[in-house]
Amino acid sequence: MKNKILVTGGAGYIGTHTCIALHEAGYDIVIYDNLSNSSCAAIKRVSTLIGQPLEFIEGDIRDAETLRQAFVDHQFFGVIHFSGLKAVGESVTKPLLYYNNNVSGTITLLEVMRQYNVKNLIFSSSATVYGDPKFLPIDESSSRSCTNPYGQSKLIVEYILEDLALSDDSWNLIALRYFNPVGAHPSGQIGEDPNDIPNNLMPYISQVAVGKLEKLSIFGNDYPTVDGTGVRDFIHVTDLAQGHVAALNYLQQQVDLQRSNSKRSSSKSSSVGFLPINLGTGKGTSVLELVSAFSSISGQAIPYQFTSRRVGDIASCYASSDKAKNVLGWEAKLSITEMCQDTWRWQSINPTGYD
Ligand code: NAD
Ligand code: UFG
């Protein structure tokens, strides 16, 4: 029997791409989303791409009753937990909303999981938990600190997961720390569809390229980097999606091992506990390098101006991807070229997103 996975936030940008990868890897999926930052159109497109209808529950993770009903109706092996609010600037003006949604929502989800004895979880964490890194590439043992409520909400959930694993060794909890997800499905049918003017670099560039926005502002050209602009570890969203499949396969192997060990001996084998893993490529690309790659791949001019640094930004951030390779057997395959090609395909076919 195929293992069934509850995908919270499965209608969103990373969730939709991961649902396709999970389906291709043989998992059954149930999407749970309140559609606060996504739409039914995205779910329909995923259904079309996989050639079958998707199970979708419209619900909020803070609504314990609706969540419980999902666990009554389905026997889940585990949960991939994408749902959350993610706009750094908005989190500064609406901290209670962010803590309520991202932290309280996760606590409600964990309580319901415990009630139904589903103790396998993959959580969407972020490289933001590393703050301004002391060394590069950033490995998972780097110190953690955050300066905005969004980042704090990710860090607090990590602490909660650590405490939960310490309190009860039957939990298997993986926190995947994403670096900078970009790109779109190669079909051009699903991709990132920001509600408003994009906060992030890649969707901003692609909206300039398609003529929706006039000009990119590059936040600072005086960083100690290759060309003075910020350096990030951009990772293709389909590689990221495969990282979730690898994490889930790993959880499944570990659970199988725990079961067979407990049958063979009276001693319990150890659970995964809390396991943080970076998902990045290990390579840094500057803002100007990305602008130039996108412009030559799309054949569009990307007008830009330099403005002052954005508050809270760091100079450089890229991952050590050794742990993902060693533990999960996963590494990113796609280059900046594919990231730009696929973003451009999505943006040019769907200039107004899913509308
Ligand atoms: P997204 O906004 O596209 O997807 C999140 C989904 O969660 C949306 O469909 C939204 O409607 C849903 N949602 C939000 N609050 C909910 C709630 N209370 N109950 C049910 N559903 C709810 O975002 P994304 O880019 O796909 O990000 C997915 C996860 O990855 C988020 O937790 C985000 O913080 C994290 N992350 C994203 C990035 C990035 O750059 N995209 C980087 C690091 C971490
Ligand atoms: N940038 C610009 N102009 C823009 C947008 C961004 O110059 O209009 C620059 C930024 O200054 C930075 C780089 O592009 O140097 C990347 O910025 P993004 O906003 O795309 O990404 P961040 O690295 O700031 O943050 C993103 C997500 C966070 C997440 C983090 C994980 O927004 O939620 O990656 O590393 F936590």
Domains of the chain by start residue, with CATH: 4-349 (3.40.50.720)
For the stretch 209-239, pLDDT in tens is 999 999 999 999 999 999 999 999 999 999 9
Question: Sorting pLDDT into bands at 50, 70 and 90, what band is 258?
Answer: confident
CA distance 2 to 79: 14
User: What is residue 267's predicted lDDT score, i.e. its pLDDT?
Assistant: 63
Tokens of 280: 């990045």
Query: Is 22 in contact with 5 (CB distance < 8 Å)?
Result: yes
User: What is residue 210's predicted lDDT score, i.e. its pLDDT?
Assistant: 96
Any atom of ligand 1 within 6 Å of the Cβ of 232: no
CA distance 254 to 248: 10
Active site residues: 150
For the stretch 320-344, pLDDT in tens is 999 999 999 999 999 999 999 999 9
CA distance 54 to 69: 18
Residue of 82, 128, 321 best suited for mutating to test ligand 2, as the one with most atoms within 8 Å of CB? 128
DSSP track, 236-278:
EHHHHHHHHHHHHHHHHHHHHHHHHHHHH-SSPPP--EEEEEE
Residue type for position 86: K
User: What is residue 213's predicted lDDT score, i.e. its pLDDT?
Assistant: 97
For the stretch 130-160, pLDDT in tens is 999 999 999 999 999 998 999 999 999 999 9
Residue type for position 107: I
* pLDDT more than 90, % of the chain: 94
Atom of ligand 1 nearest to the CA of 38: 9
For the stretch 165-192, pLDDT in tens is 999 999 999 999 999 999 999 999 999 9
User: What is residue 270's predicted lDDT score, i.e. its pLDDT?
Assistant: 81
Atom of ligand 1 nearest to the CA of 60: 19
User: What is residue 266's predicted lDDT score, i.e. its pLDDT?
Assistant: 60
Atom of ligand 2 nearest to the CA of 229: 15
This prediction has a pTM of 0.98
Query: Is 60 in contact with 22 (CB distance < 8 Å)?
Result: no
CA distance 264 to 191: 47
Cis peptide bond prior to 137, omega within 30° of 0: yes
The strand pair at 172-178 and 273-279 is best described as: parallel
User: What is residue 263's predicted lDDT score, i.e. its pLDDT?
Assistant: 80
DSSP track, 56-99:
EEE--TT-HHHHHHHHHH---SEEEE------HHHHHH-HHHHI
Residue of 6, 7, 8, 14 best suited for mutating to test ligand 1, as the one with most atoms within 8 Å of CB? 14
Helices H / strands E in the chain, number of each: 12, 13
Helix or strand run (H / E) with residue 33: strand 28-33
The mean per-residue pLDDT over the stretch 290-306 comes to 98
Q: 160: left (phi > 0), else alpha (psi -120 to 50), else beta?
A: alpha
